[in-house]
């Protein structure tokens, strides 16, 4: 049998490295002596290299989209990690704000109790003053001045006949800029009748007035008690409501939920895409 034909049949397997050692020896010995088969071997090597290059190009082209996708997924994983830390941070902030909301709500409730106490005290002073005026006249203010000397400095009674009546709004104790004490029927301080001239305070929140049964009763708070009065006034007119107190915590909760759902969505998308690539 012609060895050239055998070697030609073995050359493709020889080039691919699939021949047995015996066949490799046969081919190599033949190629060293046969010029024609050696040329065929060289040509087949060139064709093999060209085919291999084409295969490599195709493999690279097929791999490129997946490499781009993998790069995108790596970017998404980095973004997902950032979202994870942001979500944890907002959870911590939300917990802190919820705690602050409870504290502020409790403080606000205490402030409203204090305000109610001050207003009730104002009503009690006025009630006692008008009851004593009805029973004992202006001298009845002496007892009121003594009983509330820790809260009030001056208390005075005016007659509406000698003074322009207040508006209907003064049927209950109300803040007023002080009326001139020289027009008062009687003025008391710490249970003592005051006869000398009095300079009213220029702090209008510290003076209360009420009109009833032809009398106007006015009293001024003592200086050391003005802080309590001011606090009650601020609570009544300027304190926030519960919704305003809880708004930061509610916003933080909303941001936390948005970040969590965004994080979960990106993570699930990455997981599904990686399964498809695999």
Q: Is residue 73 part of a domain?
A: yes
Run of H or E residues at 81: helix 35-136
Q: Are residues 39 and 21 in the same domain?
A: yes
Q: Determine the structural domain holding residue 34 and report its residue range.
A: 3-51
Does 145 share its domain with 195? yes
What's the half-sphere exposure (Cβ side, CA atoms, 13 Å) at 57? 6
Residue 125 lies in a domain: yes
Pairing of strands 186-189, 152-159: antiparallel
Considering the domain architecture, whether residues 195 and 262 belong to the same structural domain is answered as no
Residue 200 and residue 250 in one domain? no
Residue 189 located in a structural domain: yes
Contacts of 112 (CB under 8 A, 6+ apart): 235, 239
Q: What is the pLDDT of residue 1?
A: 44
Calpha distance 74→72 (Å, rounded): 5
CA distance to 10, 23, 89, 171, per residue, from 6 (Å): 6, 10, 76, 128
Which residues, 6 or more positions from 115, have their beta carbon under 8 angstroms from its beta carbon?
Answer: 231, 232, 235, 236
Cα separation, 56 vs 211, whole angstroms: 103
- Is residue 114 one of the residues assigned to a domain? no
196-230: per-residue pLDDT in tens?
A: 888 887 777 899 999 998 899 999 999 999 999 99
Do 229 and 258 fall into the same domain?
A: no
For every residue of 56-68, DSSP letters joined together read HHHHHHHHHHHHH
How far, in Å, CA of 74 to CA of 258, rounded? 22
Same domain, yes or no: 168 and 267: no
Residue 183 placed within a domain: yes
Q: What is the pLDDT of residue 57?
A: 57
Is the same domain home to 234 and 248?
A: no
Shared domain for 232 and 133, answered yes or no, is yes
In this predicted structure, what is the pLDDT of residue 247? 95
| pLDDT value of position 147 | 96
Is 160 found in the same domain as 229? yes
Chunked into runs of 10 residues, the chain (278 residues) has average pLDDT values of 73 77 82 83 73 58 54 63 87 95 95 96 96 94 96 94 78 89 93 89 85 93 93 92 93 92 79 61
The answer to whether residue 63 sits within a structural domain is: no
Please indicate, yes or no, whether residues 125 and 232 belong to a single structural domain of this protein: yes
Name the region of 214 (left: φ>0; alpha: ψ -120 to 50; beta: rest): left
Strand partners of residue 154: 220
Same domain, 102 and 88: yes
Q: Is residue 214 part of a domain?
A: yes
What's the Cα-to-Cα distance from 252 to each of 88, 112, 159, 189, rounded to whole Å?
A: 12, 27, 59, 54
Residue 59 lies in a domain: no
- Provide the pLDDT for residue 72: 55
Give me the number of domains the chain comprises.
3
Helices 21-31, 3-16: inter-axial angle, 10-degree rounding: 120
Q: Are residues 94 and 147 in the same domain?
A: no
């Amino acid at each position: 049998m012609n060895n050239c034909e055998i070697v030609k049949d073995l050359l493709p397997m020889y080039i691919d490295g699939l021949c047995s050692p015996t066949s490799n020896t046969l081919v190599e010995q033949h190629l060293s002596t046969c010029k024609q088969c050696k040329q065929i071997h060289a040509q087949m090597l060139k064709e093999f290299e060209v085919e291999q290059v084409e295969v490599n190009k195709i493999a690279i082209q097929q791999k490129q989209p997946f490499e781009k996708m993998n790069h995108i997924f790596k970017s998404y994983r980095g973004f997902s990690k950032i979202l994870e830390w942001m979500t944890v941070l907002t959870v911590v902030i939300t917990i802190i704000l919820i705690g602050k909301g409870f504290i502020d709500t409790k403080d606000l409730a205490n402030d409203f109790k204090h305000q109610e106490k001050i207003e009730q005290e104002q009503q009690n002073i006025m009630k006692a003053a008008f009851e004593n005026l009805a029973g004992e006249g202006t001298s009845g203010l002496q007892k009121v001045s003594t009983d509330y000397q820790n809260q009030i400095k001056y208390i005075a009674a005016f007659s509406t006949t000698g003074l322009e009546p207040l508006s209907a709004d003064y049927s209950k104790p109300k803040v007023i800029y002080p009326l001139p004490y020289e027009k008062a029927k009687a003025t008391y301080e710490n249970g003592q009748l005051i006869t000398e001239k009095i300079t009213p305070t220029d702090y209008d929140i510290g003076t209360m007035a009420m009109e009833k049964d032809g009398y106007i009763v006015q009293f001024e708070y003592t200086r050391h008690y003005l802080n309590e009065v001011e606090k009650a006034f601020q609570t009544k007119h300027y304190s926030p409501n519960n919704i305003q107190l809880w708004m930061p915590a509610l916003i933080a909760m909303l941001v936390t939920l948005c970040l969590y759902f965004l994080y979960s969505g990106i993570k699930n998308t990455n997981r599904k895409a990686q399964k498809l690539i695999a």
